[in-house]
Amino acid sequence: MRQVPREMDGREVPMVTVHETLAVRVLLGSGARSAVPEEVARLSARRVFLVVTPSASAAGDELAGALGPLLGARFDRPAPHTPVAVTDAAMATAAGADCVVAVGGGSAIGLSKAIAARTGVPQIAVPTTYAGSEATPVLGETSDGVKTTRRDPALAPGVIVYDPDLTVTMPAGLTRTSALNALAHAVEALWAPNATPVTDALATEAVAGILQSLPEVLASPAETAPRARLQSASWLAALCLSQVRMGLHHQLAHVLGGTYGLPHAELHSLLLPHVLAFNLPHSETARTRLAHTIEPIRRLSQAYDGPTTLSALGVPYADLPSVAERVAASPYPNPRELTVPDVTALLEAAW
């Protein structure tokens, strides 16, 4: 747990646990996307900059029509890992916008955060995947192959609209990897050094919800009830990500993803079983709550009909020691000490 020393009358008193909650308005349910124009009006916005992931173009078209004269400009080219060059291109068309609405996955929402960071305008996030970026105050931007992450409450969208109807058209593969990406947020929250009773509870419920609903969604993709459960569980996992510091899993995803331009969800999906096995013996809280999940998580990851290894994603085997060196040189907080040989061994197993 994150603990802060305090002084009283010149004397140091016992450390205290600190839990902070972001101010955010959340709409959940089928058809919730229809409320976006009302949310724009509630913010007194008059010129919306609409960011749309290409895979969510149909939802973007619908929303553009609903916004009508409130729509100022639209950008359909967000990219994974939020390249600064893409943000610069978007900024060139966002002049005069007093609100950003992002429709799509992590790429669209990451770009929305980058624009808000540069302009200070409010954001409305309409996620169509389970990535979770919409609920966090974290922005990772890539420049020259290096991904830099920062955390600031001002980066978090002030309104989130969760509509399970928007996830029905997700391909099965993306559904699987995106949900496992969300699962990674909850898993890492359980071994975070600044975990609190609240994040432990959120993470435990998120893990249960994702592992129960994901197989149902994959088996019956047209059913919206399991998708709503999966979306809600992913939201809880994202709330964990917004509260605590992530560890080795996310550091590997940031280093590998930023260096090689790898797909975010696929990378999280394939790394998760390996990092879980690596860290679990070193965290009593995580071991108690996650021991029974190792095999289900491994099966869900390996059943993906796509790249399930770093080699399949094109990471050169010869680069693994240098990746391990970068991780060990500036480690994220992690329950197990990160040495170059140990991290290299983990990467080799994932390769």
For 137-182, what is each residue's pLDDT tens digit?
A: 989 999 988 888 888 999 999 999 999 999 999 999 999 999 999 9
Phi-psi region of 134 (alpha: psi -120 to 50; beta: other; left: phi over 0): alpha
160 closest CA partner among 130, 132, 128, 126: 126
Q: How is residue 330 annotated by DSSP?
A: S
For the segment 193-217, the average pLDDT, to the nearest whole number, is 96
Length of the chain in residues, anyone? Answer: 351
Residue 225 has pLDDT above 70, yes or no: yes
Measured CA to CA, the distance from residue 260 to residue 78 in angstroms comes to 17
pLDDT at position 13 is 56
Contact between 191 and 285 under an 8 Å Cβ cutoff? The reply is yes
Band (pLDDT 50/70/90 cuts) for residue 241 is: confident
Residue 297 has pLDDT above 70, yes or no: yes
Dihedral sign computed on CA atoms, order 254, 256, 261, 264: negative
Measured CA to CA, the distance from residue 333 to residue 151 in angstroms comes to 15
Residue 185 has pLDDT above 80, yes or no: yes
| Location of each CATH 1.20.1090.10 domain in the chain | 172-350
Measured CA to CA, the distance from residue 236 to residue 160 in angstroms comes to 13
- Both tokens of 170, joined, read 């997700």
Collapsed DSSP state (helix, strand, coil) of residue 192: coil
Amino acid at 89: A
Contact between 218 and 175 under an 8 Å Cβ cutoff? The reply is yes
Measured CA to CA, the distance from residue 168 to residue 147 in angstroms comes to 31
pLDDT in tens, 37-80: 999 999 999 999 999 999 999 999 999 999 999 999 999 999 98
Q: Using CB atoms within 10 A of its CB, is residue 50 exposed (0-12), middle (13-18) or buried (19+)?
A: buried
Residue 330 has pLDDT above 90, yes or no: yes
Measured CA to CA, the distance from residue 316 to residue 53 in angstroms comes to 29
- Both tokens of 47, joined, read 């010129």
pLDDT at position 1 is 42
| Location of each CATH 3.40.50.1970 domain in the chain | 25-167
What percentage of the chain has pLDDT greater than the value 90?
A: 83
pLDDT at position 181 is 92
- Both tokens of 54, joined, read 């290409």
Contact between 102 and 124 under an 8 Å Cβ cutoff? The reply is yes
When computed from its CA atoms, the radius of gyration of the chain, rounded to whole angstroms, is 20
Residue 245 has pLDDT above 70, yes or no: yes
**Of the candidate ranges 229-233, 244-248, 261-265, the one whose mean pLDDT is the lowest:** 261-265
Judge: domain 172-350, CATH 1.20.1090.10.
yes
The pTM assigned to this predicted structure is 0.88
Question: What kind of architecture, by CATH, is found in domain 25-167?
Answer: 3-Layer(aba) Sandwich (3.40)
Contact partners, residue 273, CB within 8 Å, separation at least 6: 294, 297, 298, 301, 302
For the segment 4-13, the average pLDDT, to the nearest whole number, is 57
What percentage of the chain has pLDDT greater than the value 70?
A: 96
**Of the candidate ranges 86-100, 136-150, 203-217, 307-321, the one whose mean pLDDT is the lowest:** 136-150
Mean pLDDT, the chain, whole residue set: 93
Band (pLDDT 50/70/90 cuts) for residue 20 is: confident
Residue 2 has pLDDT above 50, yes or no: no
For the segment 94-114, the average pLDDT, to the nearest whole number, is 95
